[in-house]
Amino acid sequence: MTSRLRPPLVALFVTLHFLCIGIYLLPFPPRMDAKTLAMPDVRDEIHRVVQFFQQVGLLSPASGEAHTQLLTWVRQYETLHQPMRQLARLYLEPIGSVQTWNMFGGTPPRRPRVILVEIQPQNTSGFQLYLDGRWGTSGDETFNFRHRKAQERLSVDGRKRERTEYARYWARRWNQAHPGQPAQAVRISFLELQTPPARAVQAGKPPVPPRVLLPFVVRL
């Protein structure tokens, strides 16, 4: 490369680099399907945002109408943003620089989910708890932070293949620990806890009992 061409090429490359990252970093909703929108945490958050926009006069005071209006805006933005993201990805993907930086954004969950793994040993009728992801349990102590990330991803509906693979993994672990009593089925489910607001805890209100969600049985 001649020394005359090098300076503008460096500037062009840097500009392209920033442009691709900038496009990729424009905020976007991770999922807009009906199931996600019906999740309590998502529903609550949308409700709060709608209320805020209504208070500042950006949305109609009629609640249902405002909700629809907000989702329409987000979907319109998505229609524009997605093709641009695909273009930026052509540069960012091969160099491993696809980036979003969503740490604890928009809001940390108020209803965290923890995993439960139950095993049904051969020639038995019921499931027995093998792993409990709640604090202070043996399951909690054995989890590496990467396992927790995988469980977080499994705790959202879908990912049937990954759930099956995860269930089979725990069956293998059970079988190694119980050689004479191999597993015949594995049930993975999630316990939805509820973090009470600090004020509720200070007022001595009793905690909300957890709910069992998304039970998924794999027969081996």
Partner 1 sequence: MKQLWQRYVSFWNETEAPETLGAVRITFGLALLANILEQLLHTDVLELYADPSAGGIFSGTSGSWSSIFSYLPATAEVVYGVAVVHLLGALLLTVGLFSRLSALLALVTYHSLAGRMYMYRFDADTVYLVFLWLFVLAPSGSWGSLDARWRGTAAALIPAWPRRLMIAQLTIIYVRTGLIKMGSTWSFSDGWSALYYALNLPGLARWPGDWVVMVYPLSQVATFVAKWWEITFLIVPLSLYFQRTPSHHLLRRVLAWQGWRPLYLGVGMLMHLSLILVMNLGLFPIVMMAVYPCLARPEEVRRLLQRVMPSQPS
Q: Which stretch binds partner 1 (CB under 8 A): 31-39, 140-148, 177-185, 210-218?
A: 140-148
Helices (H) and strands (E) in the chain, counts: 8, 4
Tell me how far apart the alpha carbons of residues 194 and 216 are, in angstroms, rounded to a whole number: 22
Q: Which stretch binds partner 1 (CB under 8 A): 62-70, 75-83, 123-131, 148-156?
A: 148-156
Pairing of strands 113-121, 128-132: antiparallel
Beta bridge partners of 115: 190
Among 136, 179, 204, 209, binds partner 1 (CB under 8 A): 136
* Pick 161 or 219: Cβ nearer partner 1: 161
Among 2, 4, 5, 7, binds partner 1 (CB under 8 A): 7
Among 149, 205, 212, 217, binds partner 1 (CB under 8 A): 149
Picking from 208, 186, 211, 212, the residue whose alpha carbon sits closest to that of residue 196 is: 208
> Residue 52 burial by CB count (10 A; 0-12/13-18/19+): exposed, middle or buried?
exposed
Tell me how far apart the alpha carbons of residues 120 and 111 are, in angstroms, rounded to a whole number: 28
Q: Which stretch binds partner 1 (CB under 8 A): 17-25, 69-77, 80-88, 120-128?
A: 17-25
C-alpha gyration radius of the chain: 24
| DSSP state, residue 134 | S
Query: Considering the rule CB under 8 A, would residue 146 count as an interface residue with partner 1?
Result: yes
Beta bridge partners of 188: 117, 216
Q: What is the smallest separation between the CB atom of 149 and partner 1, expressed in angstroms?
A: 5
Among 43, 63, 138, 162, binds partner 1 (CB under 8 A): 162
Q: Which stretch binds partner 1 (CB under 8 A): 59-67, 80-88, 149-157, 181-189?
A: 149-157
Task: Determine contact, residues 151/116, Cβ cutoff 8 Å.
Answer: no
Binding-site ranges for partner 1 (CB under 8 A):
6-8, 10-11, 14, 17-18, 21, 25, 27, 45, 48-49, 52, 93-110, 112, 114, 133-136, 140, 143-154, 161-162, 165-166, 168-169, 193, 195, 197-198, 201-202
